[in-house]
Structure 1
Amino acid sequence: MSTDSAFTATRRHFLTSAAAISLVTVSTHVRAQSISGVLPWQPFAAEPPTPIGPQGWVFFTPAEAAAVEAIVDRLIPTDDLSIGGKEAGCAVFIDRQLAGSYGSSSRLYMKGPFLPGLPTQGYQGKETPAARYREGLAAIDAYLRKTMNGRSFVHLNADEQDQFLKAMEAGKVDLGGGINATRLFDLILGNTMEGFFADPIYGGNRDMVSWKMIGFPGARYDYRDRISKHNQRYPLGPVSIAGGRPEWSR
């Protein structure tokens, strides 16, 4: 029997069994309960996400945290449009993500074999994001101390930091230990962007700075009055999952 046939048979058996169980259940209850005039759920029954505090580090060591804060501040530097990546909390966002299910890849299939993937498939290795950061940051520190007169990333000036990050992105840095500098750069850049644009409840996008910059309304529940107003800037400020402030409604 082919795989498709086996799947069809299994699915048919499941549906048949489910139907039989439903008939038995209905037959045992002469009077069916109908819901009328009340909601089948209770408002506010679900626990809201717990906001992440901006203080302290959960995953990063102090040295790692300092390096990541310096890196995200060069990837998103302060300018006339917004604050920089450090002040926006991008490093805090990354720290909390690495300490959770993302960092341990607990929601991904992580069994072998591990084979090189296509460029469109992304990272296919066995290392979790947490391990990649820990090994990658150590490799960056060792490389710079060897090539920059004992200085770490945080001790480089802004131009030197930019040149190093550009070299990483272009694959012109040999970090050793089988670490691909370009992939490591892409990982940090992607997480930095996520932290900058994610809901503030996750630690980044402090005070919804990026949403205000691009005019994104956030987690507002009702847009009916704006549906027909195409190509017009939304007049109200953004709202986080955790709620907003009175001044944001004006």
Structure 2
Amino acid sequence: MDRRKFLSVLPLSAAALAAGCAKPSGNAQSPASYSPTYFTSAEWAFINATIARLIPEEGEGPGGIATGVPEFIDRQLELPYGHGACFYMKGPFIADAEPSLGYQLRFTPREIYRLGIADANGAAGRLFHKEFAQIETSQQDQLLRQMEHGQLQFEQIPAAVFFAQMLANAREGYFADPQYGGNRHMLAWRWIGFPGARADFTDWIDQAGRRYPYGPVSIAGRT
């Protein structure tokens, strides 16, 4: 996936900004020391492999693993957001509804991940005789592309829905405040020159094309 296209629009973090649906949970940890609380070991391997392809280390800017995106996703799934506490989850569910009618499945985000990972590993097994995290990166890209365009037939959940969920949460984790587990050391903010939670940067709003000269500040006041 082209990094510049991926980052062309910086979405607000729906998970992190929904009132009462996401809260910081402890201090962010290094990728090596973090132990997932929701994902199983096999699911954790899948998430790390997927994020490494959605936001790869090569090219401009930090990668998704270095910035703690998998940790962000795992934390969100244990919070009210992951349980769908702020979603309307009642039927009827219309399978062929227009996009304007909104989400039409009975699954919470954490259920989407659990079922989607199982289906994705099943597809990888049928095509390449290994789980997703164990196949070649070119094969992972192939499967992700097919998932994105709904070209894979999953048993439990639409492949495109699962891919869209992962992509949205990956973007959120990459640019969220570090207290949510992602954007470790504010690497993503530093890369794009975003000031973060600085009290005042109005002098720079109208200086288009000029790089912001000061480093970002997190909500917790870290620089």
TM-score normalized by structure 2? 0.81
Tell me the residue number matched to 1:167.
146
1:131 maps onto 2:111 in alignment: yes
Q: Call closer, same or farther: CA 1:228–1:156 in 2, change over 3 Å.
A: closer
Give the AA of the match of 2:66.
E
Q: In structure 2, the residue corresponding to 1:104 is in which secondary structure? A: coil
Q: Secondary structure at the match of 1:194?
A: helix
Between the aligned partners of 2:171 and 2:59, the Cα distance in structure 1 is 18
Post-superposition shift, 1:81?
A: 1.8
**TM-score, length-scaled by structure 1:** 0.73
Instruction: Determine if the alignment matches structure 1 residue 75 to structure 2 residue 54.
Output: yes
2:189 aligned partner: 211
Indicate if the aligned counterparts of 1:88 and 1:209 stay in contact, CA closer than 8 A.
yes
Q: How many pairs align? A: 196
- Find the aligned partners of 2:80 and 2:213 in 1 and give their Cα distance: 37
Once the two structures are superposed, residues 24-80 of structure 1 have per-residue CA deviations (whole angstroms, 9 ceiling, x without a partner) of xxxxxxxxxxxxxxxxxxxxxxxx955443221111111101100100110000124
Q: Does 1:197 align with 2:175?
A: yes
CA distance in 1: counterparts of 2:137 and 2:98, whole angstroms: 34
1:143 to 106, 110, 123: 123
**Structure 1 stretches lacking a partner, 5+ long:** 1-47, 246-250
**Structure that is richer in helix per residue:** 1
Q: Does 1:240 align with 2:215?
A: no
Query: Contact 1:70–1:86 (CA<8 Å) still a contact in 2?
Result: no
Q: Which has the higher contact order (CA 8 A, sep 6+)?
A: 2
CA distance in 2, matches of 1:231, 1:84: 24
CA contact (8 A) 2:28 2:184 kept: no
Distance change (3 Å), C-alpha of 1:139 and 1:237: same
What RMSD in Å do the two structures reach over aligned CA positions? 1.9
Identity percentage of aligned residues: 43
Residue 89 of structure 1 is matched in structure 2 by 68
CA contact (8 A) 2:73 2:170 kept: yes
Structure 2 gap ranges (5+): 1-22
Supply the distance in 2 between the matched residues of 1:96 and 1:213 (Cα, whole angstroms).
Answer: 24
